[in-house]
């Protein structure tokens, strides 16, 4: 480690101390009983970071894909201290009733976040839920209402708030005023991540319960794009790239700049280039989140080149004294005039967690952030405080992105009344705040939680 790396590691250590650090929080405590709902790639990946930092006992796993479920049970047993294989379930309701876990990790596709999360807090569990919290606005309102009514800690896995180099950028660049007056923010994603091709629909594999996988969403024929990992290609299960990638960058900017709700949201775009794919999400979209005296402008394209190849998924924060570029890998402060430039990089902890180097499909640059996010959640479980990515923050960010899609669909700017949870003077837009649920599933109602 050279001097520059040492200084970066020191700064990252300070940043981690702000979100819980490495204090031995669990000495003498009985291990928390943990359950995972959704055993796909990211659910397992995030869950394994928990097993690295806390003496929890994973008692149960739930998934509607029997093959994926069995594989996950073997992997968890190999990693947890007890070496016990978790009990496995195909229905989260049965799992919650039989196992009574202390902590539930909801890592399903987006259309399945609301119902299990609400059921888990009703059962008495604290919840770690993947982002975005919901596919429609009313789901998010119901999830927030449930967390507050049942007094449960709910952390949303928007882990930019726990990313060491981004904490450093916020504290040492933004909070110290090095940007000066901030007047414009651009956020973007130019990854070629939209599903391509048009494979035929087919019968689902025998190990997959497609009826349960679809759940409250509209029934589509099974297609290999959707499962596993490709379901965000379809608006029936998600909010597309805005719901997947914009939520991270918008939430990061809201956190860094201490922003609440946008006042107005507009958006335009659609499927402008790749018209032959079976995917029905936009391949091109721009959205403006108007925070009053600060516009935050989102752009995604799943084709062509990124304007700044070094920052294809990022935020650009412009002040009259300089510019901050930030993403999941690094940040860079570019002063205007005689100021001192600054840089930072993602924290890798191979010395403490050597398995990070070999774990299949792990986003290695994110591992330290996910661990810190879990630590913050566990600390709040003990203190009963609000975590850094509390369910209310997840609701604000997810709703803002959902409203962007509604604005694009309707072709007009939406004015949001955060107190009423409605679009001002727009009955058509307000009808779209709640998606219809497929029977027999019942849409959650925030007034009847």
Is residue 98 included in any domain, yes or no? no
**Residue 269 falls inside a structural domain:** yes
Residue located via tokens 């009808």: 431
pLDDT at 1 over 80: no
The reported pTM is 0.94
Range of the domain at 232: 1-30+161-195+228-355+392-434
Residue 153 lies in a domain: no
Asked if residue 294 is part of any domain, the answer here is yes
pLDDT of 79-111, one tens digit each? 999 999 999 999 999 999 999 999 999 999 999
As a whole number of Å, the CA-based R_g of the chain is: 21
Q: Which residue matches tokens 């705040």?
A: 433
29 band by pLDDT with thresholds 50, 70 and 90: confident
Q: Encode pLDDT of 238-264 as tens digits.
A: 999 999 999 999 999 999 999 999 999
- E-strand spans in 8-82? 33-37, 57-62
The residue-averaged pLDDT of 137-151 equals: 98
| Percent of the chain whose pLDDT exceeds 90 | 93
C-alpha 5, offset from chain centre:
29
Structure tokens at 218: 């509209």
| Residues 285, 124: Cα–Cα separation, whole Å | 40
Question: CA angle at residue 249 from 246 to 251, to 5 degrees?
Answer: 100
237 pLDDT above the threshold of 90: yes
Q: Is residue 202 a part of any domain in this protein? A: no
Domain count, the chain: 1
For residues 138-164, give the mean pLDDT: 98
Q: Is residue 14 part of a domain?
A: yes
Residue with tokens 């990211």: 42
pLDDT digits (tens, 9 = 90+) for 306-356: 999 999 999 999 999 999 999 999 999 999 988 899 999 999 999 999 999
151: exposed, middle or buried (Cβ count in 10 Å: 0-12, 13-18, 19+) = exposed
Query: Is residue 121 over pLDDT 60?
Result: yes
pLDDT above 70: percentage of residues in the chain: 94
Domain-embedded: residue 46 = no
Q: What does the alpha-carbon distance between residue 421 and residue 416 come to, in Å, rounded to a whole number?
A: 7
**What's the CATH number where 319 sits?**
3.30.360.10
Q: What is the pLDDT of residues 401-437, one digit of tens each?
A: 999 999 999 999 999 999 999 999 999 999 999 999 9
As a dihedral over the C-alpha atoms of residue 24, residue 29, residue 33, residue 37, rounded to 10 degrees, the angle is: -20
310 found inside a domain: yes
What are the strands of the beta sheet with 57-62, ordered from one edge?
87-89, 57-62, 33-37, 103-106, 126-129, 154-156
DSSP string, 332-387: EEEESSSPPPEEEE----TTT-GGGGT-TT--GGGHHHHHHHHHHHHHHHHHT---
Pairing of strands 57-62, 126-129: unpaired
Give the Cα separation of 229 and 358 in Å (integer). 21
Q: What is the pLDDT at residue 14?
A: 41
Specify burial of residue 200 (Cβ count, 10 A radius: 0-12, 13-18, 19+): exposed
Sheet with 422-423, strands from edge to edge, namely 342-345, 330-335, 322-326, 313-319, 182-189, 295-301, 284-290, 264-270, 414-417, 422-423
Please give the span between the terminal C-alpha atoms of the chain, in angstroms, as a whole number.
53
Res. 9: pLDDT tops 80 = no
């Amino acid at each position: 480690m050279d001097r520059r790396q040492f200084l970066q590691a020191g700064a990252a250590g300070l940043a981690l101390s702000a979100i819980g650090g490495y204090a031995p929080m669990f000495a003498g405590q009985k291990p928390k009983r943990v359950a995972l709902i959704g055993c796909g790639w990211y659910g397992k990946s995030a869950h394994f970071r928990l097993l690295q930092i806390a003496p929890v006992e994973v008692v149960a796993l739930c998934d509607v894909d029997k093959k994926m479920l069995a594989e996950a049970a073997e992997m968890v047993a190999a990693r947890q201290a007890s070496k016990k294989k978790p009990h496995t379930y195909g229905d989260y309701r049965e799992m919650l009733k039989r196992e009574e876990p202390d902590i539930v990790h909801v890592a399903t596709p987006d259309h399945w976040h609301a119902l299990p999360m609400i059921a888990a807090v009703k059962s008495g569990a604290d919840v770690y839920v993947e982002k975005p919290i919901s596919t429609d606005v009313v789901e998010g309102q119901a999830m927030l209402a449930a967390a507050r009514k049942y007094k449960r800690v709910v952390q949303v896995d928007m882990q930019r708030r726990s990313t060491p180099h981004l904490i450093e950028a916020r504290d040492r660049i933004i909070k110290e005023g090095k940007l000066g007056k901030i007047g414009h923010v651009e956020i973007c994603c130019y990854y070629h991540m939209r599903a391509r091709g048009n494979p035929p629909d087919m019968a689902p594999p025998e190990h997959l319960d497609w009826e349960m996988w679809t759940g409250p969403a509209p029934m589509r024929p099974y297609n290999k794009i959707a499962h596993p990992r490709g379901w965000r290609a379809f608006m029936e299960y998600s909010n597309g790239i805005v719901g997947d990638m914009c939520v991270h960058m918008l939430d990061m900017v809201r956190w860094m700049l201490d922003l609440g709700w946008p006042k107005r949201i507009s958006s335009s775009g659609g499927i402008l280039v790749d018209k032959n794919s079976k995917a029905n999400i936009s391949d091109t979209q721009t959205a403006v989140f108007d925070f009053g005296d600060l516009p935050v402008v989102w752009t995604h394209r799943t084709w062509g080149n990124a304007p700044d190849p070094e920052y294809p998924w990022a935020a650009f924060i412009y002040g009259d004294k300089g510019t901050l570029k930030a993403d999941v890998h690094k940040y860079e402060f570019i002063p205007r005039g005689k100021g001192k430039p600054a840089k930072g990089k993602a924290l890798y902890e191979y010395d403490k967690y050597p398995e990070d180097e070999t774990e299949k499909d792990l986003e290695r640059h994110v591992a330290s952030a996910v661990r810190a996010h879990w630590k913050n959640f566990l600390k709040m479980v003990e203190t009963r405080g609000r975590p850094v990515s509390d369910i209310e923050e997840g609701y604000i960010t997810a709703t803002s992105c959902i409203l962007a899609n509604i604005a694009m669909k309707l072709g007009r700017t939406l004015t949001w009344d955060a107190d009423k949870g409605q679009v001002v003077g727009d009955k058509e837009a307000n009808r779209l705040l709640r998606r219809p649920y497929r029977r027999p599933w019942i849409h959650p109602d925030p007034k009847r939680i």
